[in-house]
A and B are shown apart, each in its own frame.
Chain A
Amino acid sequence: MSTPTLSSTPPKRRHRGLLLVLLAPGLLALLATFILPMAWLFRASFSDSVMAAFGGGWTLTHYLAAVTDPFYWRVALNTLTLGVAVSFFAVLLGYPIALFLARTQSRWRGVLTALAVAPLLTSAVVRTYGWMVILGDRGVVNGSLQALSLIDTPLRLSNNSFGATVALVEILMPYAILAMLAGFGRLSTQLEEAAAMLGANRLRVFWRIILPLSLPGILTGALLVFVMAISSFVTPRLMGGGRVFVLGTEVFNEATVTLNWPLAAALSIVLLVLFSSVIVIYQRALRRLEE
Chain B
Amino acid sequence: MRTLRNLGLTLLYLFLLAPIIVVFIVSFDTRQYLAFPPASFSFGSYAKVFANEAFLSAFGRSVVIGLVVGLVAVSIGMLLSMALVRYRFRGREGLNFLVLAPFLVPSIVLAVGLMLVLSPVGLLDTYAGITLAHLGITIPYTVRTITMSLMAVDRRVEEAARVHGASAFTAFRRVTLPLVRPGLIAGGVIAFLISFDEAVISLFIVSVRTSTLPTEIYRYLEYSTDPQIAALSVVLILISIAVVVLVERLIGLRRAI
Contact = CB atoms under 8 A, between A and B. Distances in A.
Interface string A116-137: 1111111111111111111010
A157 to B, nearest CB: 12
B199 to A, nearest CB: 5
A167 B15 CA distance: 10
B148 interface: yes
Contact of B155 (A7, A33, A93): A7
A140 B22 contact: yes
A30 B222 CA distance: 34
Interface in A252-285: 252, 255-256, 261, 264-265, 268-269, 271-272, 275, 279
A96 B9 contact: yes
Interface residues of B, number: 97
A6 interface: yes
Nearest to B104: A279
A170 B148 CA distance: 27
B34 A268 contact: no
Interface in A1-56: 5-8, 10, 12, 14, 19, 21-23, 25-26, 29-30, 32-34, 36-38, 40-41, 44, 52-54
Contacts of B102: 30, 33-34
Interface string B48-72: 0000000000000000000000000
A268 B120 contact: no
Interface of A: 5-8, 10, 12, 14, 19, 21-23, 25-26, 29-30, 32-34, 36-38, 40-41, 44, 52-54, 93-94, 96-97, 100, 109-110, 112-134, 136, 138-140, 143-144, 167, 170, 173-174, 178, 181-182, 227-228, 230-234, 238, 247-248, 251-252, 255-256, 261, 264-265, 268-269, 271-272, 275, 279
A-B complex: 5 closest residue pairs judged by Cβ atoms: A130-B19, A33-B136, A37-B113, A231-B106, A121-B240
Interface of B: 5, 8-9, 12-13, 15-20, 22-23, 26, 33-37, 75-77, 79-80, 82-83, 85-89, 95, 98-99, 101-117, 119-120, 132-133, 135-137, 139, 143, 148, 150-156, 193, 196-197, 199-200, 203-204, 213-214, 217-218, 221-222, 225, 229-230, 232-233, 236-237, 240-241, 243-244, 248, 252-254, 257
